[in-house]
Structure 1
Amino acid sequence: MKSQSLVRRLLISTLLILLLLWTSMVVSVAWVIKHETDEIFDSSLQETAQRLLPLAVMQLKTHDREDDDEDDEDDEHALEADEDSLEPAQHDEYLVYQVFHASGRMLLRSHAAPTTPIAPELRQGFQRTAKHLVYIEKTLSGEFFLALAEKSNHRKDTLLSTMKYLLMPLLALLPLSALSMLVIVHGARKPLQKLSVELSSRGGSDLNPLAVKDLPQELQPLVNTMNDLMHRLQSAFEAERNFTANSAHELRTPLAAASAQLHVLENTSLNDGQRQTLYTVRKVLQRLQALTEKLLQLARAESGIAWKSGDVDLGQLLELLCRDLQWRTDLKLELKLPPSPVIVQGDVDALGIVFSNLLENAIKYASPGSPIRVEMSTGPTQIRIINDCDPLPVQALQRLHERFYRVRPDSRGAGLGLSIVQALLEPTSIDFSIHSPTEARNRGFEARLTWPNISKTTAASQ
């Protein structure tokens, strides 16, 4: 399962909370605005009706007196409203009114008012219809009624406009908040990134405490815990190395004494059975001596000792080691070197241990009668040690660096050679890799050492 980014989770969570809070604020403000505007509009509607009714009655009575001079018609006919007496409005009319006689006859109306009654009932107070909110006011005598109506969608449009203008800043606020948070989080992550880089750049043998200085308070407990863990690991590794080194040193003397006694016995008169037993004992003793030497090399490699650095002629060192090993094996060592000497900076003893372990490993596991190829090239400097053998499974290839691991438990090796090489090269800039099968073949094993492409390379030194 792919792990989620902490920055992404923080960003999404914060933006969602911001969106929720802002939306809640807009809804709360909208509710307050609706409540307050309803009170204000209702009061304004009522007050407007109370101010407008006397003016309408005055206009009607003036109109009635002018008509008395013309004829003596019925009163109802004299009080009919003159629709052309008002100049049409040049804007949206949110309020319309109608003036009625107590009998229910419409006497006057505004330009945009319908010709039919707005309110279903002619009574004082508020009434709501499908299209209007109506307030009806009457005169003290009860003879005239004024119905003042407000379009029902007016308040809704006002509320929606308010909410729209409150929500519009959110469109800019969310991306700006995200950008600001990314900048802030990026700055806050720098100590963590610095700590990560320091840990990743360390070798496996570097267990020195991490610096706590300039770290945020939130990271200091974590770093202190890691330092405590590394201290305990360092103590455990040191105890293990001391045990390995001391055991190997303690074994050297009795093994040397046993070897001397065997040499004395070999010069005495023995029958064939005794000589065969003596040969078997010498082989076991040689394996113990080789294992002791490997344990000492491993203890030295894992101790993190700073090796001396100097000029090392790689070709000369390989020639010396191959010549020394050639007389101990029936396999042919084929050495291929560039025409010019290749000089690197390093510890000749450490590089000698690396090369000898790789050569011994190649000889030990090679197919009978097959040659061991040692090739060196330049640009960049690279050494390849290749033998012929059955290809190794991927799982086995990945575990070859483990101590005491052997692909075949019945093999002669101790399973320490590649562990020693890995430990010696870990603090250096030399790239060490193993391959099986080899390039362009379906079998074989190859150990490859590659130096950085510089004039002089520090090898096996800290």
Structure 2
Amino acid sequence: MKSPISLQKRLGLGLTLGMTLLWLGATVGAWLVVQHELNEAFDSALEETAQRILPLAVLEISNREAPRTAQHVATLKMHKEYLTYLVRDAEGQILMQSHDANPKIFNEHPSEGFSTTQKYRLYGASALRNTLFIEIAEPLGHRREAAREALLALLLPLLALIPISLLGTWLFVRLSLRSVLAYRRAVEARGVGDLSPISVARLPAEIDPLADAVNRLLERLRKALEAERSFTANSAHELRTPLAATLAQIQRLRQEAPQGPLRTRAAKIEDSLRELARLSEKLMQLAKAEGGGLLSEAPQDLIPLLAHGVDEWNRSSGQRIRLQLPTEASVYCAIDPDAFGILLRNLIENALKYGAADQPVEVSLTEQALLRVVNGGPVVPAPVLQRLTERFVRGSSEASGTGLGLAIAKTIAQGVKARMTLASPATGRADGFEVTVQFLCVPSA
């Protein structure tokens, strides 16, 4: 999946590209105008030069002893001429020419007006009733060179303006989007259970209605979740007393009933009531996990909390749990002790219930606040492993359960910004099941 392009980058590149294209268009248009004006100026220079030289040439030729003799006009200093000329009669005989003139570049027969060959621009004029003609030639390369220099003069500033405009546009867009970026950071910083309104000042007019709509949605979602949690917690709490009374009555009925089908049915009812009582307890834990109060005001040392929880389970499970703790360090985390107890209880209960009965459950805590719970047993298939943290999802084991234990543990982990991962087979083993919870370490108070 492609990562989305930021609005800042899109606006910066788009505005810079648009401005560059407009500048290029304006440059091309200005260059065409400049080229047209240069051609007009060069043509005017050709015409003016011809009009100035022709009377002098007529006077010079008229005063010669042999007027039909060709003559090169001497130059004071040798140089490369941009303008060269020929003075010819009506038959094309050369009477006068500039010192650097090449007769081959001129028309075979002299004519008046402008004409263009492959490499030269020519202008011709006549005198003495079309008996003398002058033609002046200018290399087209000279005009092209002038046009190129004009184009470079227009384009060179653009090379410097492109990075400057890109930087300026990027800074302007960034300053304009400061409130939007602050709003994004505020949303990203929210925890899983934080549904309070998001307040960011001076949002753009296009974003402000969206922020208000998000806040209204969060408020409706918060009320809906609170109603659901309240209903779950109250229902589970209200069921505890009648369930306990009903369980006591069915146990008494089972003891008083004679051997036979009645006692068997009473035993089945007692098992169902116990499952219902466990489900009620899980629902209360889930309501606490989804509610607030998962974080403690003061950092809590996880080592004594973990040792106490494992000791309670060892007394009820026949010492099946092996505990490994850091020897010379304390591990502090900002988690409520009750929430940690619920998380640990669900992880150990899951390991004891679904793990191999002839293998111990390994519980360890590192100095980096990494909690590991490992149990033996067959490897859990990957498709099943991915769904085990969903509510009411259980593995293929025949052991009874509600399918809420890992979901409750994951909800608590997300609420305290911890990362919970499942693995099967366990790390360093060919079988088994492993749950790791990476808590955020905090300094002690």
* Of 106, 126, 150, the match for 1:162: 150
Match of 2:70 among 77, 81, 88: 81
Structure 1 residues not aligned, in runs of 5+: 68-76, 458-462
Which moves more between the two structures, 335-344 or 51-60?
335-344
Could you tell me which residue of structure 2 aligns to residue 354 of structure 1? 343
1:175 has 2:176 as partner? no
Q: Which residue of 1 aligns with 2:21?
A: 20
Please say if 1:380 is aligned against 2:375.
Answer: no
Taking the aligned partners of 2:67 and 2:277, their CA distance within structure 1 comes to 138
- Could you say which residue in structure 1 is the equivalent of 2:102? 114
Give the AA of the match of 1:235.
Answer: K
Tell me: CA distance 1:350–1:12, structure 2 relative to 1, closer, same or farther (3 Å). Answer: closer
- In structure 2, stretches of 5+ residues that fail to align are none
Distance 1:330 1:202 in 2: 43
Alpha-carbon deviations, 1:425-452, whole Å to 9, x = none?
3332555443322221022222334444
Change (3 A) 1:148 1:431: closer
Contact 2:424 2:432 in 1 (8 A): yes
What are the superposed Cα offsets for residues 57-92 of structure 1, whole Å, 9 maximum, x if unpaired? Answer: 122233x2xx3xxxxxxxxx4431332x51165443
Q: In 1, Cα distance between the equivalents of 2:373 and 2:77?
A: 102
Tell me whether 284-293 or 432-441 shows the greater mean CA deviation. 432-441
Task: Read off the aligned partner of 2:221 and give its amino acid letter.
Answer: L
Deviation at 1:142, TM superposition (A): 3.4
Equivalent residue, structure 2, for 1:132? 120
2:42 aligned residue: 41
Residues 30-66 of structure 1, C-alpha deviations (whole Å, 9 max, x = no match): 221222223222223222212211111122233x2xx
- Which amino acid in structure 2 is aligned with residue 51 of structure 1? R
1:436 pairs, out of 412, 418, 424, with: 424
Aligned residue-pair number: 443
- CA distance in 1 between counterparts of 2:154 and 2:329 reads 79
Cα pair 2:326 2:365 within 8 Å, conserved = yes
- Give the CA deviation at 1:111: 0.9
Matched position secondary structure for 1:335? strand
Distance 1:353 1:103, change over 3 A: closer
Aligned pairs for 1:334-349 (under 5 A) are: 334-338=322-326, 342=330, 344=332, 346-349=335-338
Contact 1:315 1:341 in 2 (8 A): no
2:351 and 2:107 map into 1 onto residues whose CA distance is 107
Determine if the alignment matches structure 1 residue 365 to structure 2 residue 354.
yes
What is the TM-score with the length of structure 1 in the denominator? 0.85
Residue 216 (structure 1) aligned to one of 179, 188, 204: 204
1: CA distance between counterparts of 2:423 and 2:201?
A: 43
Residues in 1 aligned to 2:347 and 2:37: alpha-carbon distance in whole angstroms: 89
What's 1:228 paired with? Answer: 216
What is the RMSD computed on CA atoms of the aligned residues?
2.9
Pair 1:54-2:55 in alignment: yes
Deviation at 1:250, TM superposition (A): 3.2
SS at match of 1:426: helix
Corresponding residue for 1:257? 245
Give 1:424's aligned amino acid. Answer: I
Residue 134 and residue 308 in structure 1: after superposition, are their counterparts in 2 closer, same or farther (change >3 A)? closer
**CA distance in structure 1 between the aligned counterparts of 2:16 and 2:291, rounded to whole angstroms:** 52
Alpha-carbon distance between aligned partners in 2 of 1:396 and 1:315, rounded to the nearest angstrom: 32
Percent identity, aligned pairs only? 36
Residues 1:291 and 2:292 are matched in the alignment: no
Check conservation: 2:9, 2:170, Cα contact below 8 A. Answer: no
Structure 2 length-normalised TM: 0.88
Task: Deviation per CA, 1:366-419: give whole Å up to 9, x if none.
Answer: 112222223344x23444322112222334333332222222385411121122
Query: Contact conserved, 1:335 with 1:373, CA < 8 A, in 2?
Result: yes
